[in-house]
Amino acid sequence: MNVVSRMLRPMANVVRRHPALARSALACIPDWHTHITVPQIGKVRIRLRRNRSLWLRPPLELELYPLATLRAFVRPTDIVWDVGANLGIYARWLVTHLKARHVCSFEPMAENIPELRHNLVLGNVTERVTVVPWALSNVDSVVDFQVDDMQSASGAVNSVYNGEACRARAALGLPPKIEKVKSRTIDSILTAGELPPPDVLKIDVEGAERMLLDGGEAFFRRASPRLLIETHGLDVSRQCLEFLFDHGYTVAARVPAHWHAECHMKLDRSVLGRMVDQYDAHFIAAAKRPEDVPDKLDLVNL
């Protein structure tokens, strides 16, 4: 697979700039199951087309920053909510490498849940991971959910896209693909005692980040969970930072090299007027105790 990925990567860079050509190329890639070996994780089952980023490049190439942040955050006694669990790679790493006490893996996309469960079995971690088939947002309801079955096997609640196709399908000129999912708020889950409260949340919800935070407003005011948030867009990045500052969090983020040589720095409210790009504060790390937010990250020794 490594040889194939090296051969295909230059072609992929050309194809993705031309939607019609990309649609034709994707149609030639069967969405078959296959297995890859992910460093430090082990054997993982993926779908050849929709999970192609995991074999077109080193599988953890884009995950070094969030994994390093979680290593700084997670302790062996912690309950971790993995929100946007996808295939279960993070859940396995949290349990096997960081020794998290228990992980609640939230994954609402119906086609991903069998893959998630299968990969938890492969990693022998099923007893320490609870699969939760809900989206987290700011409502308790059954909602429309936009499915990305082309690029990342992920999705977001439809309100993120206002009925338009998700980015990957829109880029290929394809219409929306929608399924119904159960949406819950953090506050309602914890009030009902349905799951243990998290010490750490890893959040990757494809644009619904602020909705999720709003749905846990009471929890974030009274408790002090540590947060890793991957944001998807400039506006939602600003909105998340505003929420975190308002709730007493110390914040750091992955930032551009022209902001900081190590691409990681602590932020204050002044950053809100400085941001002009969605990647100016892409991965946000937040904790109420300033000493819990690392001044620097080790991106090498994972």
**Per-domain residue ranges of the chain:** 2-292
| Cα(200)–Cα(231) distance, integer angstroms | 17
User: pLDDT (tens digit, 9 = 90+) per residue, 188-209?
Assistant: 999 999 999 999 999 999 999 9
Q: Is 227 exposed, middle or buried (0-12, 13-18, 19+ CB in 10 A)?
A: buried
Residue closest to 239 by CA, chosen among 272, 264, 215: 272
Q: What is the pLDDT of residue 55?
A: 84
* pLDDT more than 70, % of the chain: 90
Please say if the pLDDT value at position 75 is more than 50.
Answer: yes
Please say if the pLDDT value at position 97 is more than 50.
Answer: yes
Biggest distance spanned by C-alpha atoms of the chain: 52
Please say if the pLDDT value at position 230 is more than 60.
Answer: yes
User: Between residues 7 and 34, which one has the greater pLDDT?
Assistant: 34
Q: Predicted confidence band at 228 (pLDDT cuts at 50, 70, 90)?
A: very high
User: Between residues 13 and 250, which one has the greater pLDDT?
Assistant: 250
Residue closest to 186 by CA, chosen among 161, 165, 217, 160: 217
Q: What is the pLDDT of residue 61?
A: 86
- Model-level pTM? 0.90
Q: What is the pLDDT of residue 10?
A: 55
173's tokens? 């000129």
Q: What is the pLDDT of residue 25?
A: 62
Please say if the pLDDT value at position 22 is more than 80.
Answer: no
Q: What is the pLDDT of residue 20?
A: 55
Q: What is the pLDDT of residue 161?
A: 87
64's tokens? 């070094």
Identify the CATH homologous superfamily for domain 2-292. Answer: Vaccinia Virus protein VP39 (3.40.50.150)
Cβ contacts of residue 150 below 8 Å, gap of 6+? 26, 49, 50, 168, 169, 172, 174
Residue closest to 98 by CA, chosen among 130, 128, 73, 62: 73
State the sign of the Cα–Cα–Cα–Cα dihedral 67, 68, 69, 72.
positive
Q: What is the pLDDT of residue 4?
A: 47
Please say if the pLDDT value at position 27 is more than 80.
Answer: no
